[in-house]
Chain A
Amino acid sequence: MTDFLFDVIATELEDAVGRENCSTRTIDKLTHSVDYFWLSRMWADRGLRMPEGDFIVAPKDAKEVSAVLKIANYYKIPVTTWGAGGGTQGGAIPVCGGIVLDTKRMNKIYDVNEQGMYIECGTGAIYKHIEWAANEKGYATMHYPSSLTCSTVGGFLAHRGIGVSSTKYGKIDDMVLQMEVVLPNGDIIETSPAPKHAAGPDLNQIFIGSEGTLGVMTKAQMRIYEQPESRQFRGFLFHNMTDAFNAGRELLQKFKPSVMRLYDEAETASLIKKIVGVEKKGAFMNIAIEGVKEMADLEMKILLETFAKYGAEDLGSEYGEKWWKEKITFFYPGHMMDIPQCFGTMDTIAPYDKIEKIYWEMKKAIETNFPQAKFIAHFSHWYEWGCMIYDRFIVDGDKVPQDPHEAFRLHQAIWNCGVRTALANGGVVNDHHGVGIKLGRLMKEQYGPAMQVFEGIKKQLDPNGIMNPFKLGL
């Protein structure tokens, strides 16, 4: 791009969003080039610069987003949407430069609607802020991922996020009623006023998980819930994973706890021991039951009876309460894997008839092919039909190649190995972190000819291919 054209585009973008909201400053370009993806962090740690946007724009509403996308389409400039940058898959990295569209000025909370039980807000709102807004009125969003404080509503929607209380309250795609979306051509649309209907496919679900490749979600109505009268915890120790899966599956045929988290023996002996204080060997499982007290008491009785059948040791409520208190502590620097380690979380999901096999096969594949890597896992989101694995590989810093390109190769190779093993055994590419640039290549392997459905939608909505190129395998 010539300097002249650069200035032309910059002034048009300034006209669209206001001069103070269109930046070419180094600090803005830098901070929008490193997200939570291991590669971008490793790159920065070694003093390298990630691909940067040329223009960082912060529109305040759908109208301004529309103006930006029209400019981008005209000049055929890539647009990468940025929420708060907490994604692990490199979905928000502007790999082709161009415009980074930061959504955080669209953070207005329009309505805490107690009648309709939802909050209407801009998608640039940090989720914790809408939780505060709900709390101020005596409600809760019940969406409690570790990134609650550092991710936007739009960010969670863009990659289909999930929180720790998902078993009872659902995933982010269960929590949204209606959305406003700006299409790549600049048209502003609204999805249907209610999410459950027979008026064709659910438009919400086309954009949720699309990672900025099909448009920009600008406003959303997110569900709120009454605060539970009672929230009760119980920790258990299982002798083996098979018993734990069977117990979990049986429990879910009876009722839905809010939190269900099973930690494999390796993670029980490391993270759970360190943060929650469980010293014994085995597979730790934490359950939370909540709602009307009378019902919660009854559910607790059913829980104890069910788990006793599978030989689970009842550890009482103390560890569970401690876990709840510390649920985000796990993710702070000092507790979490960090550079110079090489690491990744290969979350996948499958029905109960496949999930345990996937776990053992992935563990075997990683540990056999990459003996320098540790493999730990927990199972944190459960349904009546199956659950997800949050399995992580960790290579200590002294075993990571010094050459950043070689370090990246190692990282990619472990990912390929792990995810392909999951796919071969009936899992999916990802459960709730999304695809981004990290896993795009594996989407075609999962979907095969079904990928043409996504490609067709993409081609129709974004014929110039400006929206978040090379993400989601599109």
Chain B
Amino acid sequence: MQFTKKSQEHIDSCRFCWMCHHVCPIGNATGLERNTARARALGLSLVMRDSIEYSDDIINNVYECSLCGGCMTDCVTGWDPVMFTKEARLGAALDGKLPEYVMTMLSNLNEKGNIYGADKNENIPEINGGDTLFFLGEDTRAKSCAKTAVELLQKAGVEFTLLKDEPNSGYSMDFLISAAAETKAMMENCAKVLNNYKKVVCYDPADAKVMMREYKEWGIEVKAEVVTFTRFLAELIKDGKLAVKNSGKEFTPQDSPILARDLEETAPIRDILSACGVVNEMLLNRAYTMLAGNLIMNEYMPNVIEKVAENRWFNAKNANAKVLVTTSTAEYEMLLKTKPEDMELKKIEEVVAECL
């Protein structure tokens, strides 16, 4: 296992530093020392020094990270555990050492177009409506639903296209094996489709993230303007295309780490919720948000991911939240699975639809 010089430097800085211990949603859920950035770095630093093998055990530990970036955001000196964790995953792929559960997901992706092995969702309609593409994404198509979002766009008079055969953005492949040639090929294939449109509205922040960041990093050209659904929705309200009435109800935003940290987008959800009611913040908000769910990891460590969601409900409860509002498919699904009876969970479009 060879690491780039940059990763080596970050691994050696993180291996003896505990400062981000408190922000790891996985570590907080498991209570296990190995689920910390420093533990992962320590293991990899010993691999770098040939003291230990890059064994299944160490590789499994590398896959116990959600890549949520909480540690990176918290680090005042800018060390980046996400970067070296992704590189370690790529290394496992290149060395032919991927764990079986990863191989299964990759095989599903190859055969069914999604890591979950789900058949094509025939309930999703095909809409041919213009040069704006509404991109639902893998998680939504396989595990969730965007019916209300589609109806909302129609109500706002947006002319948009919804594909029957939507390409995979490459988000899950990037999560699993990072910058492998296969990931790049998948993203290039997706970009070709995106480039048939002027604008791409991503329902799931995960897809927006790769299109706006990884595609650029790897020189994959996307001519279309990519926006998140949340931002698009906020603009529709601002432009008067969706006339919402303030219900006076209290809403608590669950900032998706991808939106808040990777895309630095925290205002639109608040603009929408302020138009529909009153915003009640959790203590850990915006860039300092805590992950509430990850459907990919739910495939191989479901108990832990459920605990991650339960912990976020605990935060919401402490903030006296009544209605928790999400923008990410994965977080919505995991929060729904673990929802306490006395609390409400809504997708951002559901809040808007109720306030029309």
A interface with B by C-beta (< 8 Å): 25-28, 30-32, 34, 36, 41, 44-49, 56, 58, 82, 84-86, 102, 104-107, 124, 126, 128-129, 132-133, 135-137, 147, 149-151, 328-329, 331-335, 338-339
A129 contacts B18, CB within 8 Å? no
Residue of B39, B52, B61, B77 near A333 (CB, 8 A) is: B77
B33 contacts A102, CB within 8 Å? yes
Known: A30-B52, A334-B77. A150 touches B19 (CB 8 A): yes
- What would be 11 A-B contacts, judged by CB atoms less than 8 Å apart? A25-B34, A28-B32, A41-B16, A47-B49, A49-B51, A85-B18, A129-B28, A132-B284, A331-B19, A333-B77, A339-B16
Q: Which 4 residue pairs across A and B have the least CB separation, nearest first?
A: A150-B18, A47-B49, A104-B31, A105-B31
In B65-79, the 8 Å CB interface with A consists of 74-77, 79
Known: A47-B49, A49-B51, A136-B318. A84 touches B18 (CB 8 A): yes
How many whole Å from A331's CB to the nearest CB in chain B? 7
How many whole Å from B215's CB to the nearest CB in chain A? 31
CA distance A132 to B317 in the complex (A): 13
Instruction: Provide the residues of chain A in CB contact with B12, threshold 8 Å.
Output: 45
Closest to B317 in A: A136
Known: A47-B51, A136-B319. A27 touches B39 (CB 8 A): yes
In B271-291, the 8 Å CB interface with A consists of 283-284
How many whole Å from B255's CB to the nearest CB in chain A? 16
Instruction: Provide the residues of chain A in CB contact with B36, threshold 8 Å.
Output: 31
B51 contacts A26, CB within 8 Å? no
Give the secondary structure class of A's interface. Answer: loop
B18 contacts A27, CB within 8 Å? no
B76 contacts A328, CB within 8 Å? yes
Known: A44-B45, A338-B16. A31 touches B58 (CB 8 A): no
B22 contacts A128, CB within 8 Å? yes
In B215-249, the 8 Å CB interface with A consists of none
Instruction: Provide the residues of chain B in CB contact with A147, threshold 8 Å.
Output: 18
Does B199 count as interface, using CB distance less than 8 angstroms? no
B31 contacts A31, CB within 8 Å? no
Instruction: Provide the residues of chain B in CB contact with A129, threshold 8 Å.
Output: 22, 28
CA distance A165 to B51 in the complex (A): 42
CA distance A25 to B33 in the complex (A): 12
A150 contacts B42, CB within 8 Å? no
Closest to B14 in A: A333
Among B23, B42, B74, B319, max chain A CB count under 10 A is at B42
B8-29 interface bits toward A, Cβ cutoff 8 Å, 1 = contact, 0 = none: 0000111111111111000010
Closest to A135 in B: B283
Instruction: Provide the residues of chain A in CB contact with B284, threshold 8 Å.
Output: 132
Known: A44-B45, A48-B51, A132-B283. A32 touches B33 (CB 8 A): yes
A149 contacts B42, CB within 8 Å? no
Known: A26-B58, A27-B58, A105-B31. A335 touches B22 (CB 8 A): no
Instruction: Provide the residues of chain A in CB contact with B49, threshold 8 Å.
Output: 46-47
CA distance A474 to B334 in the complex (A): 49
CA distance A84 to B32 in the complex (A): 9
CA distance A188 to B92 in the complex (A): 46
Closest to B282 in A: A136
Known: A31-B39, A36-B18, A126-B21. A332 touches B76 (CB 8 A): yes
B46 contacts A44, CB within 8 Å? yes
B77 contacts A47, CB within 8 Å? no
Instruction: Provide the residues of chain A in CB contact with B21, threshold 8 Å.
Output: 84, 86, 126, 149-150
A107 contacts B318, CB within 8 Å? no
How many whole Å from A19's CB to the nearest CB in chain B? 13
CA distance A48 to B45 in the complex (A): 11
B158-178 interface bits toward A, Cβ cutoff 8 Å, 1 = contact, 0 = none: 000000000000000000000
20 more A-B contacts (CB under 8 A) besides A26-B58, A30-B52, A46-B49?
Answer: A26-B57, A31-B36, A31-B42, A31-B43, A32-B33, A44-B46, A47-B51, A58-B31, A104-B31, A104-B32, A107-B28, A129-B22, A135-B283, A137-B318, A149-B22, A150-B20, A151-B18, A329-B76, A332-B75, A333-B17
Instruction: Provide the residues of chain B in CB contact with A82, threshold 8 Å.
Output: 33
Does B354 count as interface, using CB distance less than 8 angstroms? no
Does B128 count as interface, using CB distance less than 8 angstroms? no
Instruction: Provide the residues of chain A in CB contact with B19, threshold 8 Å.
Output: 149-150, 328, 331-332
Closest to B32 in A: A58
A335 contacts B77, CB within 8 Å? yes
Residue of A28, A105, A128, A333 near B16 (CB, 8 A) is: A333
Instruction: Provide the residues of chain B in CB contact with A136, threshold 8 Å.
Output: 283, 318-319
Does B55 count as interface, using CB distance less than 8 angstroms? yes
Among B14, B19, B39, B79, max chain A CB count under 10 A is at B19
Instruction: Provide the residues of chain B in CB contact with A128, threshold 8 Å.
Output: 22
Residue of A25, A329, A338 near B57 (CB, 8 A) is: A25
Instruction: Provide the residues of chain A in CB contact with B15, threshold 8 Å.
Output: 44
How many whole Å from B194's CB to the nearest CB in chain A? 40
Among A34, A128, A129, A335, max chain B CB count under 10 A is at A34
CA distance A328 to B22 in the complex (A): 14
CA distance A344 to B15 in the complex (A): 18
Instruction: Provide the residues of chain B in CB contact with A27, threshold 8 Å.
Output: 34, 39, 43, 57-58, 60-61
CA distance A420 to B119 in the complex (A): 73
Closest to A104 in B: B31
CA distance A403 to B314 in the complex (A): 50
Closest to B18 in A: A150
Instruction: Provide the residues of chain B in CB contact with A47, threshold 8 Å.
Output: 46, 49-51
CA distance A102 to B153 in the complex (A): 51
CA distance A27 to B31 in the complex (A): 15
In B111-160, the 8 Å CB interface with A consists of none
